[in-house]
């Protein structure tokens, strides 16, 4: 039997690997499109298939509230519900319980919260998070963790960390389905000492993979970069490393340079709906008047099916008049951009040219070299 994770190659500190699930392989580094509520926003399953990501993400919190995990389970699970045949990673609901819901109150046993939709009362526990993710039938399951907002003092972080570890143990002890792999989530904010303590605790629980949680939640970008540079080398080599909720293209590039393997972020899908386009030469907003007569594709360096046939002028028009079609086309391109970023990074690692790729991507994206 193939191992769950196989490290295939390194280039500087960047890693190329292969994750094995019963629903298919996931080459890393890899970006995972976010399919919050059973759909990648603005796209159909057919559109997503055409983008060909090896894995997508689903949100436990949202699917628990609507349509409910029991319903999805009774209909054959999340894969069948959205007719997506490749792997799905579900988050634990932790981040949303803390960021989206009202009146959350944390106890040792779990979190009391009110739905952001109808105000109904709920109590999320590590066991309920596992139950939901088992019902959804995802291939990679995330531990239920506490996500304190940054900045936070060390005392707050330590107490939160203690709970996160106790909850991780309860998640680990919950019986998942045979095809499901459980990831632990390292917390500890920007404090390297706490991060290493968290890592040590989770290592002892022997999860299939490790996530770095609690970043990109209010701290400065340089602080996140520093923490990643300091912390990542301590992570076990033989397990996939997932940086949750990150990020902008350069954040992803920098994290790959630190040896991170997996990413997810709503930026490509969310920005698309607001006119934001990612291009090799940096982000633009298609609603800008200067694109009104621009016959070039969204990104002249892109070969996705949107760039192959539609002009900036057309997208500018569709946005101005408010056609849904605009969000669909823009989302498709943006996701292609993120998937292409991790795919090209992987190719450069496999041929040991990652530093070269890094420099060239950085230079083109920012219009300057990274030393400036």
DSSP one-letter code for 369: -
171, 182 in Cβ contact below 8 A?
yes
Whether 139 sits among the annotated catalytic residues: the reply is no
Least Cβ distance, residue 49 to a second copy (angstroms)? 10
The angle that helices 221-231 and 192-205 make with each other, rounded to 10 degrees, is: 50
Among positions 66, 179, 281, 296, the unique one binding a second copy when judged by CB under 8 A: 66
Half-sphere exposure of 191 (CA within 13 A, CB side): 18
Q: Are 116 and 37 in contact (CB under 8 A)?
A: no
Scanning residues 306 to 345, which ones bind a second copy (CB under 8 A)? 309-311, 313-314, 316-318, 320-321, 323-325, 327-329
Asked if 211 and 184 touch (Cβ cutoff 8 Å), the reply is yes
Catalytic-role residue among 91, 145, 251, 261:
91
Determine how β-strand 262-264 pairs with β-strand 241-243: parallel
Active site residue 264: yes
Residues in region 9-38 near a second copy by CB under 8 A: 37-38
Q: What is the sign of the dihedral through the CA atoms of 39, 41, 42 and 47?
A: negative
Q: Which stretch binds a second copy (CB under 8 A): 22-30, 62-70, 252-260, 296-304?
A: 62-70
Q: Which residue of 11, 17, 34, 62 would you call a contact of a second copy, by CB under 8 A?
A: 62
**At a CB cut-off of 8 Å and minimum separation 6, what does 288 contact?**
316
- Could you tell me the smallest distance in angstroms from the CB atom of residue 46 to a second copy? 7
3-state secondary structure of 361: helix
Closest separation between CB of residue 327 and a second copy, Å?
6
Tokens of 26: 């996931």
State yes or no: residue 39 binds a second copy (CB under 8 A): yes
Tell me which of 139, 251, 264, 336 is the catalytic residue: 264
CB of 341 to a second copy, least distance (A): 23
Binding status of residue 290 toward a second copy by CB under 8 A: no
Q: What is the dihedral of CA 214, 253, 11, 332, to 10 degrees?
A: 110
Q: Tell me how far, at minimum, the Cβ of 314 lies from a second copy, in Å.
A: 6
Query: What is the set of active-site residues?
Result: 91, 264
Which positions touch a second copy (CB under 8 A)?
37-46, 62, 66-67, 71, 74-76, 81-83, 292-293, 295, 305, 309-311, 313-314, 316-318, 320-321, 323-325, 327-329
């Amino acid at each position: 039997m193939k191992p769950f994770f196989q490290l295939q190659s390194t280039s500087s500190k960047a890693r190329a690997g292969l994750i094995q699930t019963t629903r298919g392989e996931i080459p890393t580094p890899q970006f995972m499109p976010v399919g919050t509520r059973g759909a990648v926003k603005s796209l159909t399953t057919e559109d997503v298939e055409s983008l060909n990501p090896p894995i997508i993400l689903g949100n436990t919190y949202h699917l628990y509230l609507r349509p409910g995990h029991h319903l999805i389970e009774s209909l054959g699970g999340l894969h069948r519900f959205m007719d997506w045949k490749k792997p799905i990673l579900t988050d634990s609901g932790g981040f949303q319980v803390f960021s989206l819901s009202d009146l959350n109150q944390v106890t040792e046993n779990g979190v009391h919260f009110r739905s952001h939709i109808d105000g109904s009362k709920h109590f999320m526990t590590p066991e309920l998070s596992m139950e939901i993710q088992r019902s959804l039938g995802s291939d990679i399951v995330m531990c239920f963790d506490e996500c304190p907002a940054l900045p936070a003092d060390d005392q707050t972080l330590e107490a939160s960390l203690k709970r996160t570890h106790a909850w991780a143990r309860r998640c680990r002890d919950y019986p998942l389905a045979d095809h499901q792999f459980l990831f632990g989530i390292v917390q500890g904010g920007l404090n390297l000492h706490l991060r290493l303590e968290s890592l040590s605790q989770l290592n002892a629980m022997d999860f299939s993979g490790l996530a770095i949680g609690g970043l990109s939640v209010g701290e400065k970008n340089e602080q996140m970069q520093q923490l990643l540079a300091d912390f990542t080398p301590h992570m076990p080599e033989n397990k996939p490393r997932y940086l949750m909720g990150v990020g902008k293209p350069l954040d992803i590039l920098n994290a790959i340079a630190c040896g991170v393997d997996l990413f997810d972020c709503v930026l490509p899908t969310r920005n698309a709906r607001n006119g934001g386009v990612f291009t090799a030469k940096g982000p633009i907003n298609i609603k800008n008047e200067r694109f009104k007569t621009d016959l070039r594709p969204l990104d002249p360096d892109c070969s996705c099916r949107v760039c192959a046939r539609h002009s900036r002028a057309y997208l500018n028009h569709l946005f101005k008049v408010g056609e849904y079609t605009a969000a669909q086309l823009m989302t498709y391109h943006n996701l292609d951009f993120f998937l292409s970023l991790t795919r090209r990074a992987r190719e450069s690692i496999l041929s040991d040219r990652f530093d070269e790729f890094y420099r060239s991507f950085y230079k083109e994206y920012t219009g300057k070299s990274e030393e400036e």
